[in-house]
Structure 1
Amino acid sequence: MRVAGVIRYTVLLLTLLGTWLMLQTYFQRSWRTISLRSWLGATKKPSSEKLPRYKCGNQKSCPQNYFAFKIISGAANVVGPSICFEDLVLMSNVKNNIGRGLNIALVNGTTGQLLKTDAFDMYSGDITKLQTFLQGIKRGTLVLVASYDDPATKMNDKVRAYFTELGSSDVATLGFRDNWVFLGAKGLMNKSPFEKHIKNDKETNKYDGWPELLEMEGCAPRKMD
């Protein structure tokens, strides 16, 4: 009996010892796994630093004494254009102050203050209205232009000459349903560096009957010379 009792106690002790070793091994591995995952997770946490946002959503900031702007032409005759200046949207669908043809915003070239916005339908009789508008622009005024649908059906030589005086190089060849974005100034001595123009060409048009939209952003100096 005594021998049998010793054997039973020995078996029980070995069983308890084996169970304890198994539990210890399990918890050590679990702890290492959790610790490793936690460490890896800590290294993968997204940075709390936000990317900088520049005026008008531009890719770069503008230096001192320069104005940030972004001009986007219309897309076909469906999506209207937008004009942003110093992080302020001057013309857009949301503001409900755009129209097919030419959309123009006038800004004080020294202070950056908005002076006027207007839209001119190049299908209708707005050409006389546009001539008067362009003729009245004062020296030192920045002129921001975005086309929508068609900018040139009834554009005449006089209007083209006014835009040329503002620094445009492409207005002379602007045609039916072309896309055009432009920033110039009254009194500009040289051609403006801020202009994009894409021709209406059925071989290359992105939309049915219209070229792709144009987008232009940059930094316009105060009192452009």
Structure 2
Amino acid sequence: MRVTGVLRILAVLFTLATTWLFVNTYFNRAGMKSVSLRSWLGGRVKPTKGHTVQHKCGNQRPCPANSFAFRITSGAANVVGPSMCFDNVKVLSSIKNNVGRGLNIALVNGSSGQLLKTAAFDMYSGDVQHLLDFLKAISAGTIVLVASYDDPASKLNDEARKLFAELGSSYAAKLAFRDNWVFLGGKGLKNKSPFEQHLKNDKETNKYDGWPELLEMEGCVPKKLE
């Protein structure tokens, strides 16, 4: 077997293990029941001949039972705003007129999938205290979706970064000026979330003039079982 083949197998196994860890600990403090690995992975839906199956949020693969489909797209430079889809509902987008420069956040009920709140926080010239108050008020069992737009980090202080880390983020501590960031975590999560992408602002690799290319992330997040 070629080395590249071995590396691909290892990457798949690592992804499965990380996701299972997330499933097994997700909302543990809120009393989530265990979910079997088989039910989490689920079975693939076979498309009917001549018919293309449309999965929730336009994702490439269907989600198993007892999970929600999601897709998060960051902003593109300071021109195109971010968007979020959760359980086949567009919860945040420029068309809905609920996005803004900085950090865009959607809160979703972890059991029902119902949208609770959306907010945008200007991290270039805004007041970080508004973000701190928002994060501290998140209740246990809430799914948190985050997408950056333009500049997500100039006003981000250590306290805010710590609060994001407590939601499961691995990259909030190193988020910098004009970086791109998409993240899905949860209040009560004991381990790091596998649902996160971070791209640094680097003039050598930036796709746009002064900004990195946009990020897009899709996946399935388990429901919080009562």
Partners of 1:205 and 1:177 lie apart in 2 by 10
Aligned to 2:186: 185
Residue-by-residue CA offset, 1:194-218 (whole Å, 9 max, x unaligned)? 0000000000000000000000000
Q: Output the TM-score relative to the length of structure 2.
A: 0.77
Aligned to 1:117: 118
Aligned to 1:92: 93
Aligned to 2:6: none
| Residues 1:202 and 2:203 aligned together | yes
Give, as a single letter, the amino acid of the residue that structure 1 aligns with 2:173: A
- How far is the alpha carbon of 1:139 from its aligned partner? 0.4
Q: Output the TM-score relative to the length of structure 1.
A: 0.77
- How far is the alpha carbon of 1:124 from its aligned partner? 1.9
| Residues 1:82 and 2:83 aligned together | yes
Q: How does 1:118-137 map to 2 (within 5 A)?
A: 118-137=119-138
Flag structure 1 segments of 5+ consecutive residues without an equivalent: 1-46
- How far is the alpha carbon of 1:223 from its aligned partner? 2.4
Larger RCO (CA under 8 A, 6+ residues apart): 2
Flag structure 2 segments of 5+ consecutive residues without an equivalent: 1-47
- How far is the alpha carbon of 1:48 from its aligned partner? 7.4
Give, as a single letter, the amino acid of the residue that structure 1 aligns with 2:116: L
SS of the residue corresponding to residue 76 of structure 1 reads: coil
Partners of 1:55 and 1:112 lie apart in 2 by 13
Aligned to 1:156: 157
Aligned to 2:142: 141
Measured on the aligned residues, the alpha-carbon RMSD in Å equals 1.3
For the pair shown, the structure with the greater C-alpha radius of gyration is 1
Partners of 2:103 and 2:86 lie apart in 1 by 17
SS of the residue corresponding to residue 197 of structure 1 reads: strand
Give, as a single letter, the amino acid of the residue that structure 1 aligns with 2:141: G
Aligned to 1:71: 72
Give, as a single letter, the amino acid of the residue that structure 2 aligns with 1:135: K
Give, as a single letter, the amino acid of the residue that structure 2 aligns with 1:137: I
Give, as a single letter, the amino acid of the residue that structure 2 aligns with 1:139: A
* Percent of aligned pairs sharing the same letter: 69
Q: How does 1:45-64 map to 2 (within 5 A)?
A: 49-64=50-65
Give, as a single letter, the amino acid of the residue that structure 2 aligns with 1:212: E
Partners of 1:206 and 1:62 lie apart in 2 by 32
Residue-by-residue CA offset, 1:45-78 (whole Å, 9 max, x unaligned)? xx97220000000000000001000000000000
> How many residues are matched?
178
CA distance 1:48–1:223, shift in 2 (3 Å)? closer
Residue-by-residue CA offset, 1:5-27 (whole Å, 9 max, x unaligned)? xxxxxxxxxxxxxxxxxxxxxxx
Partners of 2:186 and 2:216 lie apart in 1 by 19
Residue-by-residue CA offset, 1:97-117 (whole Å, 9 max, x unaligned)? 000100000000011010000
Partners of 2:50 and 2:210 lie apart in 1 by 45
Partners of 2:169 and 2:80 lie apart in 1 by 25
Give, as a single letter, the amino acid of the residue that structure 2 aligns with 1:153: S
Partners of 1:55 and 1:108 lie apart in 2 by 18
Give, as a single letter, the amino acid of the residue that structure 2 aligns with 1:57: G
Partners of 2:175 and 2:124 lie apart in 1 by 14
Higher-helix-fraction structure: 1
